[in-house]
Each structure stands twice: as structure tokens, then as C-alpha cells.
Amino acid sequence: MALDSKVPQGPIKDKWTDYKNHIDLVNPANKRNIDIIVVGTGLAGGSACATLAELGYNVKAFAYQDSPRRAHSIAAQGGINAAKNYQGDGDSTYRLFYDTVKGGDYRSREANVYRLAEVSANIIDQCVAQGVPFARDYGGLLDNRSFGGVLVSRTFYAKGQTGQQLLLGAYSAMNRQIARGKIEMFNRHEMLDVVVVDGKARGIIARNLITGEIERHSAHAVVIASGGYGNVFFLSTNAMGSNVSAGWKIHKKGAFFSNPCYTQIHPTCIPRSGDYQSKLTLMSESLRNDGRIWVPKNMEDVLAIREGKKKPIDLSEDERDYYLERRYPAFGNLVPRDVASRAAKERCDAGYGVNATGEAVYLDFASAIDRYGKEQAKIHNITNPSKEKIYELGQAIVEAKYGNLFQMYEKIVDQNPYETPMMIYPAVHYTMGGVWVDYNLMTTIPGCYCIGEANFSDHGANRLGASALMQGLADGYFVLPYTIGDYLSDDIRTGKISTETPEFEAAEKEVTERINFFVNNKGTKSVDYFHKRLGKVMWDKVGMSRNAKGLEEAMAEIKAIREEFWKEVSVPGTANEMNPELEKAGRVADFLELGELFAKDALMRSESCGGHFREESAELDGPQKGEAKRNDEDFAFVAAWEYKGEPADAVLHKEELEFKDIELKQRSYK
């Protein structure tokens, strides 16, 4: 099948405007006769539901949580990017586009990214109008802070609760449409299959997670907004319920998957403390604005700290290695996430990790507290302030900016991060790959769309911090409502889609048989037993550091785990009740299939990019022939591209190659 990205012709800065000027539209009277299913009600799905319903479409929204407010989008802490240049520090649409493409190791689709940068400013206006309480400066203007991989301040934030506040804005917009009857909300429902009729997505099969009832739902189009699949690693910063199932079901019905092996490794996660853990906790990247990352210079100090004979505050500045500031002086502690993660792993692999497992580095706020304290003393005309007073004043500023994050850290680790440096370590976070979509956000199944983290298009091999919320809301509020109308303009005379068809019957039968297998199988091992085994293989052999031998071993091991899973998995309870173990069984079954594809994709790429380092180099065939080189001095990665014939999309586009060669020749953070 030949992939067609449907990227409009012309200069990249004019593509979106020209596209909107020439697409087909559905008039308001006809929108009332068209149904759209949206699976997932996080920022991407919630904003899409609200906007599509506001336009007049009939929307059916599905969430496996008890409320859209529980979507994992609430976990986003640090902020949302937008090219408004409020700081007057040189930001622009082009610079946001450039930083995003560069930070993604040039693996993203440039036309989508430029559109994302264009609409980013509109997102902030939309959210302010909804009452989102963004932080403001003393003059009342919206405040900004900086994130990794950029040289400007473009991140809007609401303390460390930005995702939650943005989701409440989208949820309030949804509630308005629910009250008007334009959104039919299905809480505690999980999509278990997509139904394709005459080659078009026409509905889904869903399970009521409270009663166990299997339901058929039809629509003229289906939108997947189900988030990422980081839990394929078992331990990740994702919520326990986050899964790949919706995206995987449409993949098995014909939707292509793209770049599954690109996973973002977040550098500021609370380190693992034992084998009993079921998830990891993220500390916002915004902390790197004021926190300095270091490890001891001397191995004897490392060992003394691990044994409890020394505290980190006992080490002088000369005894500390601020390795990011040393290696990347221009960006310092604000290098992109992949660079920071690789550097932390390198230091820990070299033996300088500071906790009992040897998997932690310090994130230290002492300098920031001192700096802010002295500044506040000046502002308040305090002459010759004591160290205690400087500390008190400085801590108040840090607490105002990051207080809830510090509180969360102290509750988990039982250490006061104002008094002793935080410990952090890289962890699986956001997924770069996902369902392949064209410029319209449509998958290779006509009528089936995929938005937000669930698709592959905007972030390449690595996502800049604060860009996840930007993509989710851009797709939902400002992109999909245009692009889906162009497709639905052909459906204004179709009428209601019947669920009494052979396609719906076959899909429901397949779903029911799978559920019955799980509850009737007489296995001896729990779902988590298999999930943990999969996660260990994924992290050890398909994670940050990979090689051909390990990837081949991983594929064989995952296959063996999957075969054992179908023989030995045990699911207590029945199908006709609320049964969390049954839900997990279906999701882990999908993870086991994805895991093998994930490893296969990684094996076929002899490149180091994003958060992944390929330990040996080999040539690739086809349009993505890459030679990855490692600079041992600074761990920057450079990819050399060669264009051969027509691209297989999702990789390179003809008109964009010139741009790459001219503007983005090399990535460097020196």
C-alpha cells in the first residue's frame, strides 16, 4: 500500500492557510445529521469532543475512567508551549517549529509541526477564555518559563498542575455540550474493536466496565484519542490504566503503525526504589529551570553517600560534577530531554549513581534558593541579611513556583528537597511513535482518525518538554474540526449507520470470544506476572541502549512470554461484572504483541536518535538510509540522510528535504 501524506503543496508557512481555504465544508444543518465517535477524553479527545459538538455534530465520547477529569492528561505538570513571544526574547512561529523539528532529531513531519506552531498561540487564548488559571507576572500578564532544548521562554504554566487545569477547561466545554445533548458521554466504557464497513470506519465495539455488557456503537467517523503506550515497559510515568489497546485494535484492522520504537525517556523521574513498584513518578521538567544536576566527582564520595557516611550537602562545589553545564554550556541544565537522559544514564553506568541502586543523580535547588533570597532581600531593602533570612526568602519564591512538586517528592521519598537535593533518574514517559496519520490526521482506514499522543506525527524521535499539551489541544480544538469536515462532506446523505450488519456482528463475536477465553482459562499466573516480565525485557534490551543481538533476543523472549501468557494466564471473576483483572488481561495481550513489533522496529534501525543509543552501526535499506554517529565528548547525535526515489512518507518528503539540508544540517547542544 502506497502511503499518501496529503501534505498540501506550496511553501511550508502557507500550507495550512491554503488548505483551509480549499477544503469542503459541512453546513450547520447537515452537521446535525452526522455522528462522530471519540475514544478517549483527555486533552486531545476532550477538546475534540467539545469543539465538534459546538460545531453541531452529534458526538459519542468514550472514557474508561469514571469521568473525563480522570484522564492521564491531568498528570502533565510543567506547562504548554506557545509562540506568543510575551517575553520579547526572540520567539516566533518559525523558532517554535525549528526547535520542535530539531529537538525531535528531524524525524517529525515538518508540515504538521509548522501547523502546530501556527495554532499554538490560539490555544492560549482559548484556554484563558475558559478560565484556565495560568501563572501571571506582577504586571498581570501571563508568565512564561523555559524548558529543555530551547533558548527562549515560551512555556505557559499553572504551578505544577498545568495538565489538570487545561483538562478542567476542556471538561467544562464538554459539559456544556453534554447539557445541550450534543455529546453523549459513555464513562466506564472501553473500546475493544473498530468496525469497518465497506472499507470505512463506521463504529466500535465497547464493553461497559461496570456491567460487562458488550455494546455496538455506530458513527460516520471514529476518532482515536487514547494516549500513549509507555506501559509496555510496565514501569513508566504513565497512569496504571494507560494502554495501547484502542490504537492496536485499529492497527489490526488496517491502520498503519509508525515509529513504535521511539519512546521518550524523561530525565527527571523519582528513581525506582525496589521490585515491588507498579509505576514511577515524574518530577516536572520545569524544575530544571532552577535545579542544577550533578553527581560527585570522586568515587569515594559516591560510595560514602551510598553508605550513609556523607550527605550531598557535605560536598563542596569543587567536589561536584555539574556534567550538563560542563558538556553543554549554551543550554546547561536545559538541554532536551533525550540529551539529559542519556547523560544521566552514562554517569550512572560509569558508577557515579548516588542512591542504593546506583541509579540516581542529584537535582539541587540550593543555588536558586540563594539567588532568589538575595534578590528578595534587595527588593525588601534588607541590608546585610543573614544566611537564614536569605534561605527563608529564597525558599518562599521556589515554593511559589514549584511547591506542589516539592510536596509530592517529600511524600514519596520522605526527604525535604529544600534541605537536601532531589534524586532523579531517567524513566519511560511519552511515546513518540503511534498510529500513522496523514496531514488530515486520518489513518490508513478511511474515516478513522487518530489525534494527540496516540499518533506519530509531530514529535519525531523526541518530544520537547511542554509540547504534549500543545499537540493534544491543537489537534482537538483547531486541526481535526477542519480536517474531519472535508471527509464528512461526502456523508451528508448517508443517514444513520446501522449496527445490525454482518460487520458489527463479526466484531462483537470476536470480542466476546476473547473475553470468554480469559475468564474460562485455567491458568496459574496473574496478568501482572506476564506484564512485569515483558517490561523487564523491554527496558533491558529495547530501552535506552540497544544492539542487534539484544533486540533479536528480546523478540524471541517476548514471543515466548506471549505464548506462555495464552496458556497460563489466570483471570479471576466473571465477564458480567466489574472486573479490573479482565480489563488488564486484554491490555497486556495487546502490549505483548506491540512489544515484539517495537523490538523489530528498533532492530531495523541502525541509528541512534532520541533517547535511544544504538551500540553498533549498520546501513538501512530504503528511503530512510541513516548513518548514526556518536560524539563521545558531548553525546550529541548527527544523522546523515540520503534520499532515494519516492519516500514511504512518515520518513521524509521531497519538499522538506531541501529544508533539512539547508536549515537543519546538524544537531548540536554545545
Alpha-helical segments (H) within 328-463 = 337-347, 366-379, 387-413
Element (H, E) at 85: none
Coil/strand/helix, residue 16: helix
3-state DSSP call for residue 643?
coil
- 37-46, 103-112, 441-450: segment of lowest average pLDDT: 103-112
Q: What pLDDT does residue 514 have?
A: 98
Answer yes or no: are the C-beta atoms of 162 and 78 closer than 8 Å.
yes
Residue ranges of E strands in 180-289: 183-186, 189-197, 200-208, 214-218, 221-224, 257-258, 263-269
Average pLDDT, the chain: 90
Please, is 368 exposed, middle or buried when counting C-beta atoms within 10 Å of its C-beta (0-12, 13-18, 19+)?
Answer: buried
Average pLDDT over residues 80-103: 95
- In sequence order, what DSSP letters do the residues of 537-601 get, joined into one string? HHHHHHSSEE-HHHHHHHHHHHHHHHHHHHHHB---S-SSS--HHHHHHHHHHHHHHHHHHHHHH
Residue 295, C-alpha cell as written in the block:
553527581
Please answer whether residues 437 and 462 qualify as being in contact, where contact means their C-beta atoms are separated by less than 8 angstroms.
no
* Bigger pLDDT: 402 vs 97: 97
- Whether 115 is catalytic: no
Q: Which domains does the chain have, with CATH numbers?
A: 266-428 (3.90.700.10), 511-630 (1.20.58.100)
Cα dihedral 205/210/213/214 (nearest 10) = 10
CA distance linking residue 135 with residue 500, whole number of Å: 52
Per-residue pLDDT band for 276 (boundaries 50, 70, 90) equals confident
Query: Helices 580-603 and 548-568, interaxial angle, to 10°?
Result: 160
- Segment 480-501, tens digit of pLDDT: 999 999 999 999 999 999 999 9
- Cell numbers given for 638: 548527527
- What element of type H or E holds 334? none
CA 155 centroid distance within chain: 17
Mean pLDDT of 299-328: 96
> Mean pLDDT throughout 22-46?
97
Tens digits of residue pLDDT in 631-653: 333 322 222 222 223 333 333 33
Which of 115, 337, 463, 562 is flagged as catalytic?
A: 337
Q: Where are the beta strands (DSSP E) in 47-188?
A: 58-62, 80-81, 155-156, 183-186
